[in-house]
Amino acid sequence: MPDLKTVLAEITAAMRAETTRGAVADYIPELRRVPLDRFGIAVVLRDGEEVTGGDADQPFSIQSISKVFTLTLALGRAGDGLWRRVGREPSGDPFNSIVQLEHERGIPRNPFINAGAIAVTDVLMAGNRPRETLAETLRFLRFVAEDDDIAIDEAVARSERETGFLNASLANYMRAFGVVQGDVEHVLGVYFHHCAIAMSCRHLARAGRYLAFNGRIPTLGAGIINPDRARRINALMLTCGHYDGSGDFAFSVGLPGKSGVGGGVLAVAPGTASIAVWSPGLDAKGNSLLGRIALERLARAMQWSVFG
């Protein structure tokens, strides 16, 4: 097996030199301003060893990667009853599509498209005030990432709200069908804020350990969720984690992964490693272009694909 440090150093150098980098998300100024030349990667192994490359300690907007953590928390609250309000099938549609909702009576296809994540946020709130739900989410992330400084970027949250007309449509549509049950403005407020959490690759990779290691963080001796639930979240990340690019990600990388429009990707090699990569340039489907390429190289070099 090649040496992980050498592999990450090679990948980082290659990604830094890459000239085709995709395009940064431009729907809000805070993301539009992020320099395209950034690249970071972090890998955390079972024994706690952390191997990093590039801008691994620079926080970025995790955006839709937050949906993995809100799903984890909402399942903790509602159990499998959550699946009455959200499906588990890949959508084959862009992240903010409203088309399927009409055909499927307001039930979103999966928890990782925007509609699904908004419904999950509603389940997570269940009678709580927005501030309490956000505090719970931050508390969880700070614990699993072992970093008390993880915070919400308020400027990003504000811009998300100012431009979030489609998300508001999705939420209202689901409210009409009783899939969203709480106050639509509150649910949207929490959704926009959890998307606006900023984290570094190192902290994101730490946060993903419970998914990589059967629901546990081995070095903390902490059980976060049961192994069945971790396995199922991983399955959803593999099938739905990259919107309508999920099939291609599984084909080329072969690991469960969740992307965000900030250019981050959280990926897990079950039993072996939790991985986070960040390159803000996106491909046509809104997934990090170099993030996928870096993960493809890493999975191949270390033979980490779940498909053998």
156 part of the active site: no
Looking at residues 106 to 135 of the shown chain, list those that interact with ligand GLU (rule: CB under 6 A).
114
- Asked if 95 is part of the footprint of ligand GLU (rule: CB under 6 A), the reply reads yes
3-state SS record for 59-126: CEECHHHHHHHHHHHHHHHHHHHHHHCCCCCCCCCCCCCCHHHHHCCCCCCCCCCHHHHHHHHHHHHC
- Asked if 167 is part of the footprint of ligand GLU (rule: CB under 6 A), the reply reads yes
Exactly one of 187, 195, 199, 294 binds ligand GLU (CB under 6 A); which one? 195
- Please report where in the chains the tokens 């490693």 appear, as a residue: 273
279 part of the active site: no
- Asked if 160 is part of the footprint of ligand GLU (rule: CB under 6 A), the reply reads yes
C-beta closer to ligand GLU: residue 52 or 167: 167
Pick the catalytic residue from 261, 265, 268, 277: 261
- Asked if 7 is part of the footprint of ligand GLU (rule: CB under 6 A), the reply reads no
- Asked if 215 is part of the footprint of ligand GLU (rule: CB under 6 A), the reply reads no
Output the CA–CA distances (angstroms, integers) from residue 176 to 40, 107, 167, 231, in the order listed: 42, 11, 14, 33
27 part of the active site: no
Chain centroid to CA 144: 15
C-beta closer to ligand GLU: residue 96 or 128: 96
- Asked if 64 is part of the footprint of ligand GLU (rule: CB under 6 A), the reply reads yes
258 part of the active site: no
67 part of the active site: yes
- Asked if 288 is part of the footprint of ligand GLU (rule: CB under 6 A), the reply reads no
Tell me if 95 sits within 8 A of 289, measured CB to CB: no
Name the residue type at position 83: W
The site for ligand GLU (CB under 6 A) is made up of 63-64, 95-96, 114, 160, 167, 195, 260-261, 286
